[in-house]
Amino acid sequence: MHFDNLYTHDFARIAVGVPQCRVADPAYNAEQTVALLNEAAARGAALVAFPELGLSSYTCDDLFHQRALLDACEQALGVVLKASESIPTVAIVGMPLRVDQRLFNVAVVLHRGRILGVVPKTYPPNYGEFYELRQFNSGLDAQSTEVSLLGQTVPFGAQLLFAASDLPRLSFAAEICEDVWTPIPPSSFAALAGASVLVNLSASNALVGKAGYRHQLVSQQSARCLAAYVYSSAGEGESSTDLAWDGHALICENGELLAESQRFKSGAQLICADVDLERLARERMRQTSFGMSVRVHAAEVGRYRRLGFELGIRRDKPLALDRRVERFPYVPSDRARRDERCHEVYNIQVQALVQRLRSSGIDRLVIGISGGLDSTHALLVAAQAMDRLCLPRSHILGVTMPGFATSERTRAQALRLMAAVGCEALEIDIRPSCELMLKDLGHPYAKGEKVYDVTFENVQAGERTNHLFRLANHRGALVLGTGDLSELALGWCTYGVGDHMSHYNVNASVPKTLIQYLVRWVAETGQLGGATDPQVLIDVLETEISPELVPGSMQSTQATIGPYALQDFNLYYTLRFGYSPGKIAFLQRQAWAGEHSLAEIKRVLRIFVSRFFKGSQFKRSCVPNAPKVGTGGSLSPRGDWRTPSDAESAVWLADLDRVPDDPC
């Protein structure tokens, strides 16, 4: 299996073809269908869906009862079937079909010269501009469970599930147009039966406002079913006697739009999207309500017949992922969505802190201000919380505590920030108390030696925390924590000190990359209100992330533990979806192509795996209360992440070791 092949990582390329058609001209329609089928195969698609009644055209009306047309449709199906013999792509085509002296509107599933099954439409509409019951029967009235078609004996029925043996997470079911517009679509039961891809062969005429509703319908059905939903529509060539057609095709995955056709486009078109089958399987495994729904609807689920087939997709050659992978999964790339995300996260943090202060009966806060990113954002949240409680910001005691390596830049930024916010400001030089502690410990530094070890660093961190808690006792206040999600994930915090322990922490489920945007958003949108120096927030953003604990050196955090941009990517896909390191490396290679080599991605990912899975959980098991802000997860032992502190990381490291250094 080739590392740079999307099928290696449980993606499947799904396509929708919108051919140009002619009314009641099956031979022409078959020719157009075959052309798009070949294009889908050339693009590496596992499956391609075509419109409802595409071989005949949807608008034949009473011509559907003409034998010549029905015979010609079966001949056209034979043309498409013949063309499918040499390609691995599954084709799902629509046509009218006679079964047991009745006429059905069906989806025919073809693969490599074989008809895998025929699915009739369950709910033909008979209202408004639709009067399908004039020509067609409902699949509910079908008697036969098999049909003879083009010399093959073929499964027939609405409850058919098609499963690829060589791509185990790919199983699909088909429904037709109106079926998804009903209160309980057949695809809902198909999903409960195991279908990860739901295919809708539709004609769907164009009306004002209908495209927007289609978006909602398809998106929500994919979200409810934790599935991919593939929707076709008839395009150019359908009759305009009473209707118009826009060729609107959609592919959604768990509520997210992956691909969409161009409406009212002249000629044929094909859209493709790479569906993450593992993500869908993971969501179904995680959401226990999905499994309970299977039990509740066991009778309907039990009616499905599972039809296995071998897809035959090659994995031994590169096939690049045709899907946008965000570099910053916690931060939307679109400016409007990013601003909306920042507004929501900020207000969740503020509201949670307001509630904590109200419930505790305490109206004062103590917070350590370093002049760096995390404490800056926590102070902004605290200021807004005081505003909402109609309390003066002087109820916040900001404390900056320079140590042996504090730079003048961060010290000045801390003082400017507190002045801008309008809180009470206090500066405490912790060096004397640290020197006393080091002397009590018998540390070499107390004897004049320049030994800057972990003890030297942690004494400073501990002294700061000690001062904060004692000040909180003295002032009748809560200590507000500042440590973020990224630091907790990597264990980049000292046990029991300020970036780990507090009375309440508003940042604990916010990753570093998002905090950067939150601070910028506050600066740009004037959330500080009467602040006179919002420029200090920009200065904080431009400051190197550093603990500033060792004199005479620039301690770059990201030089030690890797760039937070990469580590937050690793965290998101590990925590949210449980992906293996190999798949995360594949996705990160797609997202950061041209900027980070695979070797660098693997190096940083190894740091993450080593720190996240072994050696850091004991710190996460006792974190203080903190609000969860997003679906990206939190590491609270009371929420998204409950694991033993003595787990091993060997299986994750072994998986990473299987990633080739050079996929070529």
Q: Are strands 146-149 and 152-155 parallel, antiparallel or unpaired?
A: antiparallel
In the beta sheet, which residues pair with residue 588?
none
Token pair, residue 211, equals 């495209």
**Cα–Cα distance, 602 to 312 (Å, whole number):** 31
Contact indicator for 33, 81 with CB cutoff of 8 Å: no
Sign of CA dihedral 509, 511, 515, 521: negative
To the query of whether residue 52 is one of the catalytic residues in this protein, the response is yes
Please tell me the total number of residues recorded for the chain in this structure.
664
**Cα–Cα distance, 345 to 353 (Å, whole number):** 12
Give the SS3 label for residue 617. helix
Helix (H) or strand (E) holding 174: strand 171-176
In the beta sheet, which residues pair with residue 251?
230, 259
Residue whose C-alpha is closest to residue 578's, from 276, 290, 333, 326: 276
Q: Which of the following is catalytic: 121, 583, 602, 628?
A: 121
To the query of whether residue 73 is one of the catalytic residues in this protein, the response is no
CA trace torsion 428, 431, 437, 438 (10° rounding)? 160
Q: Which of the following is catalytic: 21, 39, 52, 178?
A: 52
Per DSSP, 14 falls in state E
**Cα–Cα distance, 362 to 339 (Å, whole number):** 32
Residue 364's alpha-carbon distances to 116, 270, 481, in angstroms, are 69, 61, 14
Residue whose C-alpha is closest to residue 55's, from 31, 37, 38: 31
Helix (H) or strand (E) holding 97: strand 90-99
Q: Are strands 197-201 and 171-176 parallel, antiparallel or unpaired?
A: parallel
Give the SS3 label for residue 94. strand
**Cα–Cα distance, 545 to 509 (Å, whole number):** 19
Q: Which of the following is catalytic: 21, 73, 177, 342?
A: 177
**Cα–Cα distance, 459 to 370 (Å, whole number):** 16
**Cα–Cα distance, 217 to 234 (Å, whole number):** 18
Sign of CA dihedral 450, 451, 454, 458: negative
Residue whose C-alpha is closest to residue 407's, from 535, 512, 549: 549
**Cα–Cα distance, 113 to 312 (Å, whole number):** 13
Instruction: Give the distance from CA 542 to its chain's centroid.
Output: 29
Residue 199: how many CB atoms within 10 A of its CB? Answer: 30
Residue 611 half-sphere exposure toward CB, CA atoms < 13 A: 21
Token pair, residue 371, equals 């002049």
CA trace torsion 43, 45, 51, 53 (10° rounding)? 110
Contact indicator for 204, 181 with CB cutoff of 8 Å: no
Q: Could you tell me how many helices (H) and strands (E) the chain has, helices first?
A: 21, 20
Residue whose C-alpha is closest to residue 95's, from 137, 57, 140, 59: 57
- In the chain, % helix, strand, coil (3-state, to 5) comes to 45, 15, 40
Contact indicator for 22, 54 with CB cutoff of 8 Å: no
**Cα–Cα distance, 401 to 467 (Å, whole number):** 9
To the query of whether residue 121 is one of the catalytic residues in this protein, the response is yes
Q: CA 327, 331, 337: angle at the middle one, nearest 5?
A: 120
Enumerate the active-site residues: 52, 121, 177
